[in-house]
Amino acid sequence: MGTSTAVAVEGWAMRARGAPLEPFTYEAVPGPGQALVEVAACGVCHTDLSFLDDGVPVRHPLPLVLGHEVSGRVVALGDGAAPGLLGRSVVVPAVIPCGGCGACFKGRGSTCQRQVFPGNDGHGGFATHLLVPAHGLCRVDLPFESDDLRRLAVVADAVSTAFEAVRRSDLSPGDLAVFVGAGGVGGFGVQVARALGARALAIDVDPRRLELMTEHGAEWTLDARGLSAAEVKARARALAKQAGLSPAGWRVFETSGTRAGQEAAFALLGPAAHLAVVGYHAGDVTVRLSNLMAFDARAEGVWGCPPARYPQVLDLVLSGRVKVAPFVELFPLAQVNQVLDRLRRKDLDRRPVLVPAGASA
């Protein structure tokens, strides 16, 4: 396929807030520095529902094809893009900084004002193809037709964001890592923390998720159904004390994206603790902010993972230290609205990944 060949992209677009996605076709041809990626698969994230249902603003005018967890292969390149990418399987980072602004030079590419977030800044991966900056792509030595490449779509956000949150926390072997929310990002975060030698506690309200985490990295689980934030804290402290772990220096990761989860995660802060806010909740939460001062603790948000770190993330997955297959379920792209409805109802045990008809085995 030549760089000047326009491709008719078939996807599913948000035309109005709160309405079902609709079939949408547009023509795509890569401009300077861009790659046209044929989609092998695209994960479905709660962020997509935030755009669709919760009024979280997108930066591209409607209609907009959603989806930001993409694996695929490069089928065309614009001028200035590395020619070695052509024909290669890739994972598309969910956040692609420009690489040339002040924020990028300071190592804060996640705050780059020229970043590209597929399904937000431009059409995303609920489609047969998408256009993205070529410089952010992560090569993968897997065939386009393989389920392994399709499942790797979740690396683009759920796994890589978990990795970045753990990395920023300065987690050390033997530390206690507490994940509030064991689905999606949290489930992968538990595995990343365990792979780095930490001792992981998974907290959730879904016993099915907790059972799965006992098989994949969680040394302890805590069913938080019906518990207040104070009760969650008391039970977590009791587990840590019984295991001989210090009440100080906990690494807490809020990955539920719920009010109860965020309030519980903040309550878990103790001396010298670190809180990573990874889940998104559109409503208000009530926390005692002075805990940060009183415990000399810190809290920070995590927005994606720098593309330069994707090879490390892939190594964790491809080496088997972080399992993806047990946490992913593949669906035809044509079922996108049914999948979104099930996600709303919390009727999915695993992270849904959509496969376009042309990418099916």
Same domain, 144 and 169: no
Using alpha carbons only, what angle is made at residue 232 by residues 239 and 155, rounded to the nearest 5 degrees? 85
Total domains in the fold of the chain: 2
Q: pLDDT confidence of 4, banded at 50, 70, 90?
A: low
What was the pLDDT predicted at 117? Answer: 97
Give 105-138 pLDDT, tens digit per residue: 999 999 999 999 999 999 999 999 999 999 999 9
Strands 64-65 and 7-14 come out as: antiparallel
Surface-to-core class of residue 136, CB atoms within 10 Å of its CB (0-12 exposed, 13-18 middle, 19+ buried): buried
Same domain, 21 and 152: yes
Same domain, 138 and 24: yes
The C-alpha atoms of residue 30 and residue 205 are separated, in whole angstroms, by 45
Report DSSP letters for 147-192, one per residue: HHHHHGGGGGTHHHHHHHHHHHTT--TT-EEEEE--STHHHHHHHH
Same domain, 233 and 310: no
**pTM, full prediction:** 0.95
Surface-to-core class of residue 143, CB atoms within 10 Å of its CB (0-12 exposed, 13-18 middle, 19+ buried): exposed
We report the CATH number of the domain holding residue 125 as 3.90.180.10
Is pLDDT above 70 for 141?
yes
What was the pLDDT predicted at 349? Answer: 85
Mean pLDDT rounded to a whole number for the chain: 95
Residue 211 structural domain = 159-301
Assigned token pair, 163: 């990795």
The C-alpha atoms of residue 276 and residue 62 are separated, in whole angstroms, by 32
Cα–Cα nearest to 351, from 45, 40, 20, 41: 45
Same domain, 214 and 335: no
The C-alpha atoms of residue 80 and residue 342 are separated, in whole angstroms, by 42
Same domain, 129 and 78: yes
We report the CATH number of the domain holding residue 172 as 3.40.50.720
Q: What's the average model confidence in pLDDT over 238-248?
A: 96
Q: Cα–chain-centroid distance for residue 101?
A: 24
Assigned token pair, 173: 């072997």
Give 324-357 pLDDT, tens digit per residue: 999 999 999 999 999 999 999 989 989 999 999 9
Cα–Cα nearest to 333, from 7, 8, 43, 35: 43
Surface-to-core class of residue 10, CB atoms within 10 Å of its CB (0-12 exposed, 13-18 middle, 19+ buried): middle
Same domain, 142 and 15: yes
Assigned token pair, 118: 């597929």
Same domain, 99 and 143: yes
What was the pLDDT predicted at 198? Answer: 97
Question: Of 277, 301, 325, which closes a domain?
Answer: 301
Same domain, 169 and 267: yes
Find the helix or strand (DSSP H, E) in which 355 lies: strand 351-355
The C-alpha atoms of residue 46 and residue 348 are separated, in whole angstroms, by 12
Q: pLDDT confidence of 358, banded at 50, 70, 90?
A: confident
Q: pLDDT confidence of 1, banded at 50, 70, 90?
A: very low
Q: pLDDT confidence of 321, banded at 50, 70, 90?
A: very high
- 264-269: which pairs have CB atoms within 8 A and are 24 or more residues apart? 264/180, 264/203, 264/224, 264/227, 264/229, 264/232, 264/233, 265/178, 265/180, 266/229, 266/291, 266/299, 267/229, 267/230, 267/232, 267/233, 268/178, 268/180, 268/232, 268/233, 268/236, 269/295, 269/297, 269/299
Question: Of 251, 277, 301, which closes a domain?
Answer: 301
